[in-house]
Homo-oligomer: A and B are copies of this chain.
Amino acid sequence: MSSHPIGVFDSGVGGLTVFRALEAALPHESLVYLGDTARVPYGPKSAETVERYALEAARFLRGQDVKMLVVACNSASSVAMEALREQHSIPITGVIGPGARRAAAMTRSGKVGVIGTRGTIASEAYVRAIHEQAPDADVVSRACPLFVPLAEEGWTHNDVARQVAQTYLGSLRDASVDTLVLGCTHYPLLKTVIGEVMGSDVKLVDSAEAVAAEVRKRLEDDEIQATGGPAPLDHRFFVTDAPAPFQRVAERFLGRPLGRLERAKIEGG
């Protein structure tokens, strides 16, 4: 048992989809969220730079005395897990492994699509993780760099969104994948349009719930879950840029007021 919080980290606001799933699955746990909004996005940046940012974020969250770290950012999960585990002895979960395991379990045809940022796709982390579960799976990947700015602009259901989705997803539709991993935490916001373009036969995998299930199991295995008292009201949020714009978007994401939101001064930030 441990009453320490769980640290959740993303480049910006997208990781709140994971935060929300954790909150729902683990109502007794306290959460500390860090969004690196001063340096967002990580997707187009080099593996080396994203790894450095992830290590700085982890050090900040360790300073908040977290018992476990959830890397709720696909770009960071795809390049920084090894370095994070080398530097920190607490349990660390990324979003790639849980999403890949769920996709491998869901596919019937063995044809799996993966979409993500340029960095995530270039790392081939999903391809490797899916092959660990299903060595014969046929994995087709596609970087979709415009999906994040579209989601942040709030253009998630208009003609532009549809046309961008058609342009990006054509090759995945042609490959007849039966399962598509939404390999970026922003993409669930475009689920409707992506589903329309892919067709109702294709199952969409949103890693957030898979992550929450694996985090719960890990807390139980390590016997560091919260005591089971009343639900904590003390989740904390940190950002590296001005809090106000994050607060607006985050409250829309979560459908409620944020509570404690502060600016984090992180090394190198």
Contacts and interface: CB of A to CB of B under 8 A. Distances in A.
Given A163-B160, A268-B269, A49 B242 contact: yes
Interface in A190-236: none
Contacts of A152: 44, 145
19 contacts: A38-B49, A39-B39, A40-B44, A45-B241, A46-B242, A48-B242, A49-B241, A145-B149, A145-B152, A145-B153, A146-B149, A146-B150, A146-B153, A148-B149, A158-B167, A159-B163, A160-B163, A160-B164, A268-B268
Contacts of A163: 159-160, 163
Nearest to A155: B146
A46 to B, nearest CB: 4
A37 interface: yes
A206 to B, nearest CB: 23
A245 interface: yes
A259 B148 CA distance: 33
A236 B99 CA distance: 44
Interface of A: 37-40, 44-46, 48-49, 145-146, 148-150, 152-153, 155, 158-160, 163-164, 167, 241-242, 245, 268-269
A17 to B, nearest CB: 19
A148 B159 CA distance: 19
Stoichiometry, copies per complex: 2
Nearest to A53: B38
A142 to B, nearest CB: 13
A101 B112 CA distance: 55
B149 A160 contact: no
Nearest to A243: B46
A249 to B, nearest CB: 11
Contacts of A153: 145-146
A177 B11 CA distance: 39
B241 A46 contact: yes
Nearest to A147: B149
Contact of A167 (B44, B160, B164): B160
